[in-house]
Structure 1
Amino acid sequence: MSQTPIIDWTRVAELREEVGPEDFEEVVAVFFEETGAAVAALSAAPAGEIRMQLHFLKGSARNLGFAEMARLCEAGERMAARGEAVPVDRILASYDAARATFGAEVGDRLAA
């Protein structure tokens, strides 16, 4: 089974094309603002709210191409629905890794 990439660069390029290069930076800034708050809340969220936080993060992560994080959030949603413990630390680590990779590579990956 192939490993999910941290970033789906095809999705990132599609998003940039959809919103236009001018608005792409703003979309990215809003993404980091909103997901940063949600990621911080995830660590302290009561069990009943984790699933809702994961659902939001999954959609946001998919939108910006954070593929591994989206996959982990989706799995976490299913675990939360079954009343199982969610590996929040893995989701947080994936977010940190994706954010660092995105910041380091986005310019080169989307250079036109």
Structure 2
Amino acid sequence: MINWPRVKQLWDEVGSDEFEAILRIFLREVQGVILRLQQETERGQIEQNLHFLKGSASSLGFDQVSKLCQDGERRAAAGNEMDAHIAEIVAAFYASKTEFDTKRKRHLR
């Protein structure tokens, strides 16, 4: 779910204070994207939101979410039904967030 080496790399690059600021921004922005994804019906907007979420999730090591978003971008571009896939992305984000919250102190020393 979480790419801990990527998380540790970012932590080492920016330091703990900056990392915490990046994390807060990420979590706030993801909440907004999730709300938009759950309400949006226009395929182009869905693709844009998934693209943003894919990149943000990848940057912070939320690999499963990033991969699901990449698949979602392809599905949206193909005109496929998105409700179930968006629900899967949302569930993966919250599961990843839980793992991140419970294991991050162990990985970020």
The TM-score bracket by the shorter chain reads over 0.9
Instruction: Kindly state the Cα deviation for residue 22 of structure 1 after the two structures are TM-superposed.
Output: 2.1
User: Counterparts of 1:44 and 1:9 in 2: how far apart (Å)?
Assistant: 32
Look up the match of 1:69. Answer: 65
Find the residue that maps to 2:81 and give its secondary structure: coil
Alignment correspondent of 1:12? 7
Q: Which amino acid aligns with 1:54?
A: L
Cα deviation, residue 76, structure 1: 0.3
For the pair 1:88 / 2:81, whether they are aligned, the reply is no
SS at structure 2 position matched to 1:17:
helix
CA drift at 1:96? 0.5
TM-score by length of 1: 0.90
Q: Report % sequence identity.
A: 36
| Counterpart amino acid of residue 35 in structure 1 | V
52-61 or 41-50, which deviates more: 41-50
Q: How many residues align?
A: 106
TM-score by length of 2: 0.93
Q: Which 4+ stretches in 1 moved above 2 angstroms?
A: none
Cα distance in 2 between the residues matched to 1:85 and 1:51: 13
Map Cα deviations across residues 52-104 of structure 1 (whole Å, 9 max, x no partner): 11000000000000000000000000010111122111000000101111111
Task: Tell me which protein shows more helix as a share of its residues.
Answer: 2
Instruction: Describe the superposition over 1:12-48 as per-residue Cα deviations: whole angstroms up to 9, x where unpaired.
Output: 0011112112211111011101111111211111232
